Structure 1
Amino acid sequence: MTDHDTLVSVALPVRNGAARLEGAVRSVLAQDHENLQLVISDNASTDATEECCRDLAASDRRITYHRHPRNVGLLNNFVHAGRLARGTFLRWVGDDDRLAPTCVSRSLRVFAEDERLILVTTQVAYTGPDGVTTSGVYDGARLRSDDPVERFGEMLHMLNESHLLIDPLYGLMRRDPVVAIPRRNMLREDEVFAAKLALAGPWGHVPEVLAHRNWKLERIGAVGRRLGVPAWQAHFSSTLEYLEILRWLRDSGLSADQLRRARAAAHRMYARRQRRTAAHRGRKLVRLAAGLAPGARACGR
């Protein structure tokens, strides 16, 4: 059961976000759910983030501010922000995200209707570098299933679909079971964590746009540099993700039949990605060959 007295924590990890985080903070504090804690975890920012955060914390007692004395890495700061939270429920938010005023209360209503749920997602509007805002619609029901493998398979299926459909990392979660899930700093870790969440329990969904995020497509090597992982991982990110998922399945307490089905679902996801990667490389080679052909003739003249 949830009500207006339930403490909800919003965790905001940030590094050098002075120019953009105030809007995110204001949108969190504007929630119509009053019993709220906003945890800001500052990853040793070198701009004016600390001053901005301390001013905000002084203006509102709901804000808890923590500053790391040194850079602990993107994922570690993300996890640390969640561990500082005290609420029954937890939601992460990016330093340039915006939440609709009813985001928390609308999600809590779904939790109140089904006590099995560990996560409630909402539709999210994404704005790209071109200024165009888009959103997807998820209308499936398999993530609410009591069968962990059915939920797991649905999540893996969506990992090969559009990012617009659903984003479990930015939903409202039951804090205790979620922060207890171990995480490993690696490329595609967000997808691995989503798969772990699917195994952990049923999800609910609010088919309304209640959050806004900015989105830009980054090369996987650039993502790796932000995470601080070895450069070679960029060439094997799908394989490493597949192996990490298999390792987690082995330790997830599934029955023999469930484990067999879950491994088959993971293999289907991996095989599909490998086919897609091979097709992409094939098209790239064709374009390269087509581009080199005129030049080769010119050199022969």
Structure 2
Amino acid sequence: MDPENHVKGGNRMPTSDILVSVVLPVRNGADRIEGAVRSVLAQDHERLQVLISDNASTDGTEEVCRDLARRDDRIVYRRHPENVGLLNNFVRAVEPAEGTFFRWVGDDDRLEPSCVSRALQAFAEDDRLVLVTTQVAYTMPDGTVRSVPHTGTGLESDDPVDRFAEMLRLLNESHLLVDPLYGLLRRDPLARIPRRNMLREDEVFAAKLALAGPWGHVPEVLAHRDWNPGSLPAIARRLGVPPWRARVATLLQCREMLRWLHQVDLTEEQRRRARSAVLGMYLRRQRVTAARRGRRLALIASRLVPGGR
């Protein structure tokens, strides 16, 4: 299919002329960032703007980034003089983006050369889309690589609540299936979505994005990421939020999603369905938490009993 022609939109969108902003937030990534930047610059889509947002790094990140920017005029380097926080660095990094589309990249990520162009092709084929994800290969802490194909179509629906419910289902099923924060996004719809510094904000943002419009997906491994999950208390420290919130993270997450449902254009019937989806997610997570605590208590009890293991 000619990528310059829409299938569902009926208009023409030549992809080669589209400026794409690739946004790279970093803090103390001197030993990692060059590889990530080089994989972006190696894209077969040439019209790129690479925005590096340095969150007051205290290692050699600034020197590495300034050297990269001197060697390629597609790179724009900005440095915060003070630590503005993890989420703020992600959000502010997008502010100078000039591209119609943009993509976040982590400082230890690597993109395949066709990552941007394949996503642009999906946008060209369907102008309803606000986001296009790709399959991602994750390097786990033990060095193994995992990648799980996503084959569902719920996120392509014209019904915002169908998309919302599907996103919540995927969040409960596996974090490896779809990662909307590291897909190619249409910049204008994103600008209308507020973000709140909180635990599991990435999941809340994904749910808000699902309500914003249909998503596309390229079922090929076009991105590589390191997966280093941390405990909720540790993530709270990184975000600068009170540690007690780790104990009620699911409750606060669901409350934020319910609040957002009253700010988007939905019918009352759609809001009812969406609220039901949030409740279902909350109950499933509570069951998982209860089962995990039960196993932990059983293990402790077995160790207290003479002869227990």
Distance in 1 (alpha carbons) for counterparts of 2:193 and 2:64: 32
Query: How far 1:217 sits from its partner (Å)?
Result: 2.3
Distance in 2 (alpha carbons) for counterparts of 1:136 and 1:56: 34
Answer yes or no: is 1:187 the counterpart of 2:184: no
Answer yes or no: is 1:5 the counterpart of 2:17: yes
Query: How far 1:275 sits from its partner (Å)?
Result: 0.8
Deviations 1:71-103 (A, max 9, x none): 000000001111221100010000000000000
Instruction: Identify which of 233, 238, 246 aligns with 2:245.
Output: 233
Instruction: Identify which of 189, 210, 214 aligns with 1:198.
Output: 210
Distance in 1 (alpha carbons) for counterparts of 2:200 and 2:90: 15
Distance in 2 (alpha carbons) for counterparts of 1:254 and 1:294: 60
Answer yes or no: is 1:287 the counterpart of 2:295: no
Query: How far 1:2 sits from its partner (Å)?
Result: 4.0
Which secondary structure does the structure 2 equivalent of 1:160 belong to?
Answer: helix
Instruction: Identify which of 151, 156, 173 aligns with 1:161.
Output: 173
AA at the equivalent of 1:148 = P
Answer yes or no: is 1:28 the counterpart of 2:28: no
Contact 1:118 1:202 (8 Å CA) reproduced? yes
Query: How far 1:295 sits from its partner (Å)?
Result: 8.4
Deviations 1:144-174 (A, max 9, x none): 0000000000000001011111100000000
Q: In structure 1, what is the equivalent of residue 50 of structure 2?
A: 38
Q: In structure 2, what is the equivalent of residue 299 of structure 1?
A: none
Q: TM-score, normalised by structure 1?
A: 0.97
Q: In structure 2, what is the equivalent of residue 218 of structure 1?
A: 230
AA at the equivalent of 2:90 = F
Distance in 1 (alpha carbons) for counterparts of 2:237 and 2:181: 21
Q: In structure 2, what is the equivalent of residue 117 of structure 1?
A: 129
Answer yes or no: is 1:249 the counterpart of 2:261: yes
Distance in 2 (alpha carbons) for counterparts of 1:214 and 1:69: 27
User: RMSD value over aligned CA atoms?
Assistant: 1.0
Distance in 2 (alpha carbons) for counterparts of 1:30 and 1:8: 14
Q: How does 1:271-286 map to 2 (within 5 A)?
A: 271-286=283-298
Q: How does 1:120-159 map to 2 (within 5 A)?
A: 120-159=132-171
Distance in 2 (alpha carbons) for counterparts of 1:10 and 1:254: 32
Q: In structure 1, what is the equivalent of residue 71 of structure 2?
A: 59
Deviations 1:186-244 (A, max 9, x none): 00000000000000000000000000000122111111111111000110000000100
Which secondary structure does the structure 1 equivalent of 2:127 belong to?
Answer: coil
Distance in 1 (alpha carbons) for counterparts of 2:76 and 2:181: 21
Question: Any gaps of 5 or more consecutive residues in structure 1?
Answer: 297-301
Contact 1:39 1:85 (8 Å CA) reproduced? yes
Distance in 2 (alpha carbons) for counterparts of 1:225 and 1:293: 37
Which secondary structure does the structure 1 equivalent of 2:173 belong to?
Answer: coil
What is the total number of aligned residue pairs between the two structures? 296
Distance in 2 (alpha carbons) for counterparts of 1:50 and 1:294: 58
Instruction: Give the fraction of aligned pairs with identical amino acids, expressed as a percent.
Output: 68
Deviations 1:47-77 (A, max 9, x none): 1101111000010000011000100000000
Write out the 4+ residue segments of structure 1 that deviate beyond 2 Å after TM superposition: none
Distance in 2 (alpha carbons) for counterparts of 1:2 and 1:224: 43
Query: How far 1:179 sits from its partner (Å)?
Result: 2.7
Answer yes or no: is 1:83 the counterpart of 2:95: yes
Q: TM-score, normalised by structure 2?
A: 0.94
Answer yes or no: is 1:208 the counterpart of 2:208: no
Contact 1:82 1:179 (8 Å CA) reproduced? no
Distance in 2 (alpha carbons) for counterparts of 1:95 and 1:180: 26
